[in-house]
């Protein structure tokens, strides 16, 4: 369709608006929102529709780096020293296995495929990197919690640090072993040390400033402080060519260990980074180049396969040797496959330092990123679900109302606000509850499996579900707010039935009772609906009456009376 020549503000609006719609659809389809945002950018970007021009994509560079910095800052905040001491002994063994497996399999595999030794080595180093923003934000979206989640966070940080170090060491080794003069090797090693030392120092000082400032200022000023500190430190890293990813990991780590309000600081970071993250992935999707994937060809496919095998088998072998849990052995590796920013940045550096080596490497990285960024979030979600570390609310799609119901409710509130007539003059006390009964609610059999219960919840817009016996009598209620934070563990789903999840019924109604009676009951209980049953024995379930329907009737009567 060609470039629409939009102003950059309109480009941002289109990306955010379409991403919002895609994210809603992703929830319905049980896909990570990150995948939806990336696909939005890919479709709207230069590779497909060209609604977002390459010029606009590059204009967002500073904002994208800030988004990445905030993600890494937040990641560092999750690891106080006491937690590091608990996790690191296990994480180091797994990290060594993963890094060794990936480096060896990718380097040797590509070399046997006919790629030169130097290019194979560089690609092996770049294969170590895992996309931190993609991985961490998918974990946050899932609200996952457990050993696989914790280890994934640590290994993401170690992977990117290792990729940067191995990349620079590989270049030094190639220069030393090359045909030309080796140059001042000691000077280059010193320069590398200064770069990493400067990044650590900048992160440490930045973290102290944040901790001190947040302790000194009222919380309403924290957001301004965080914006000022992160943007200044990011600019400092760019000016001095310091590895900013390392800087912000250290900055978060410093805050975690120097502030007693680190959780509140992390909440402010989430507010600041939420909108930027949507834009980050939408723009990042626009950067994905389908032509680069085609150009990478068979070697690109080989790189994808070798990297995937290296990470999965590396983690599996290390976990087995150190006798880690089955969940870690099977699902940690697939959760580390996403790859983007760090690998692309290092590939660009390779082109600058040695174009004859770097340019083929860059083509393969840009091509493979298209695959890893699309399948990576899907694998992370699948891995967390299989490891039993995702709460039910994140594992299924459940909404409290339909768009039509929301529109109806909005219309009623507008009519009540302006005093429009509502028709019949009956008072709420005269109105029977019968017209408000939702008769489609047949209840959940007490013997229903856990998966059947979840399926019922997904297709319902209530938050309270009657559990019935063979006579259709209500024997309990399943309350979604109590169930939503329970971890979805595939290993125990066959052992749990609806009866195990039910809690006592606090109130029931009969078909001949009034709206006034329903309002009285809702004032005493917290449930969003009340079961309606027959008066005669057995008191079979007829349906439910919803709190919102009763409130709507009361609003109508109030609007008419006013």
Segment 195-203 mean pLDDT: 92
Q: Return the closest-CA partner of residue 354 out of 173, 185, 130.
A: 173
Which CATH fold would you assign to the domain 403-561? CBS-domain (3.10.580)
Segment 250-272 mean pLDDT: 90
DSSP helix/strand/coil, 179: coil
β-pair type (487-488, 464-468): unpaired
Q: Band of the pLDDT at 337, cuts 50, 70, 90?
A: very high
Token readout for 350 is 């390779």
Residue ranges per structural domain of the chain: 8-395, 403-561
Alpha helix stretches (DSSP H) within 181-221: 185-216
User: What is the 3 state secondary structure string of 448-470?
Assistant: CEHHHHHHHHHCCCCCEEEEECC
Q: Band of the pLDDT at 183, cuts 50, 70, 90?
A: low
Which H or E run includes 222? helix 222-239
* pLDDT recorded at residue 295: 84
Q: Return the closest-CA partner of residue 247 out of 258, 257, 237, 259.
A: 237
- What's the rounded Cα separation, in Å, for the pair 548 and 223? 37
Token readout for 219 is 């919380």
Domain 8-395: which CATH number of 1.10.10.10, 1.10.3720.10, 3.40.190.10, 1.20.1530.20: 1.20.1530.20
Q: Return the closest-CA partner of residue 361 out of 168, 116, 161, 102.
A: 116
Check pLDDT > 70 for residue 270: yes
Q: What is the pTM of this model?
A: 0.85
User: Cβ neighbours of residue 475 under 8 Å, at least 6 residues apart?
Assistant: 446, 467, 468, 469, 499, 502, 505
Segment 115-144 mean pLDDT: 91
Token readout for 430 is 């005269």
pLDDT in tens, 515-528: 889 999 999 998 99
Q: Is the dihedral of CA 138, 142, 144, 148 positive or negative?
A: negative
Alpha helix stretches (DSSP H) within 322-402: 326-331, 341-353, 355-386, 392-395
Check pLDDT > 90 for residue 533: yes
Q: b vs e for 513-523, b when ≥16 Cβ sit within 10 Å of the residue's Cβ?
A: bbbebbbebbe
* pLDDT recorded at residue 180: 46
**pLDDT more than 70, % of the chain:** 92
Do 75 and 136 contact (CB within 8 A), yes or no?
A: yes
């Amino acid at each position: 369709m060609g470039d629409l020549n939009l102003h950059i503000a309109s480009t941002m609006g289109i990306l955010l608006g379409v991403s919002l719609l895609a994210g809603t659809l992703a929830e319905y389809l049980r896909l990570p929102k990150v995948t939806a945002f990336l696909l939005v950018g890919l479709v709207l970007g230069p590779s497909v529709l060209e609604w977002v021009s390459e010029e606009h994509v590059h204009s967002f560079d500073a904002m994208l780096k800030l988004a990445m910095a905030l993600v890494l800052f937040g990641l560092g905040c999750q690891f106080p020293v006491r937690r590091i001491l608990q996790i690191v002994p296990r994480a180091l063994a797994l990290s060594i296995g993963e890094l060794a497996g990936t480096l060896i399999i990718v380097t040797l595999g590509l070399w046997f495929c006919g790629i030169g030794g130097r290019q194979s080595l560089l690609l092996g180093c770049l294969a170590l990197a895992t996309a931190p923003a993609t991985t961490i934000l998918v974990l946050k979206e899932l609200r996952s919690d457990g050993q696989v989640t914790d280890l994934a966070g640590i290994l993401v940080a170690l992977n990117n640090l290792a990729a940067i170090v191995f990349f620079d060491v590989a270049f030094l080794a190639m220069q030393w072993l090359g045909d030309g003069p080796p140059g001042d090797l000691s000077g280059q090693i010193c320069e590398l040390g200064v770069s990493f030392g400067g990044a650590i120092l900048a992160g440490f000082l930045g973290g102290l400033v944040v901790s001190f400032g947040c302790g000194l200022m009222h919380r309403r000023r924290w957001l301004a402080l965080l914006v000022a500190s992160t943007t200044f430190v990011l600019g400092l890293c760019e000016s001095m060519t310091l590895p900013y990813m390392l800087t912000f990991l250290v900055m978060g780590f410093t805050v975690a260990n120097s502030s007693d309000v680190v959780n509140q600081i992390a909440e402010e970071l989430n507010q600041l980074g939420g909108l930027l993250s949507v834009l980050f992935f939408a723009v990042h999707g626009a950067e994905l180049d389908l032509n680069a994937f085609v150009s990478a060809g068979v070697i690109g496919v080989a790189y994808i396969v070798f990297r995937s095998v290296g990470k999965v088998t590396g983690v599996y072998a290390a976990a087995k040797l150190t006798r880690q849990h089955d969940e870690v052995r099977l699902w940690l590796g697939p959760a580390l496959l996403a790859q983007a920013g760090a690998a692309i940045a290092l590939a660009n550096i390779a082109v600058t330092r040695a174009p004859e080596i770097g340019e083929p490497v860059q083509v393969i990285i840009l091509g493979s990123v298209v695959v890893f960024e699309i399948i990576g979030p899907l694998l992370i979600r699948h891995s967390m679900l299989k490891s039993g570390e995702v709460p039910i609310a994140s594992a299924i799609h459940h909404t409290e109302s339909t768009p039509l119901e929301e529109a109806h409710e909005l219309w009623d509130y507008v009519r009540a606000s302006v005093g429009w007539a509502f028709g019949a003059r009956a008072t709420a006390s005269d109105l029977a509850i019968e017209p408000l009964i939702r008769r489609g609610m047949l209840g959940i059999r007490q013997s229903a499996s856990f998966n059947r219960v979840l399926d019922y919840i997904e297709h319902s817009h209530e938050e309270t579900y009657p559990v019935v016996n063979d006579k259709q009598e209500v024997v309990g209620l399943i309350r979604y707010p109590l169930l939503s934070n329970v971890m979805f563990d595939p290993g125990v789903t066959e052992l749990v039935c609806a009866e195990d999840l039910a809690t006592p019924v606090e109130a029931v109604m009969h078909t001949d009772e009034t709206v006034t009676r329903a309002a009285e009951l809702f004032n005493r209980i917290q449930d969003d609906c009340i079961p309606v049953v027959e008066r005669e024995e057995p008191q079979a379930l007829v349906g439910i009456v919803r709190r919102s329907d009763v409130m709507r009737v009361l609003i109508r009567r109030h609007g008419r009376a006013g």
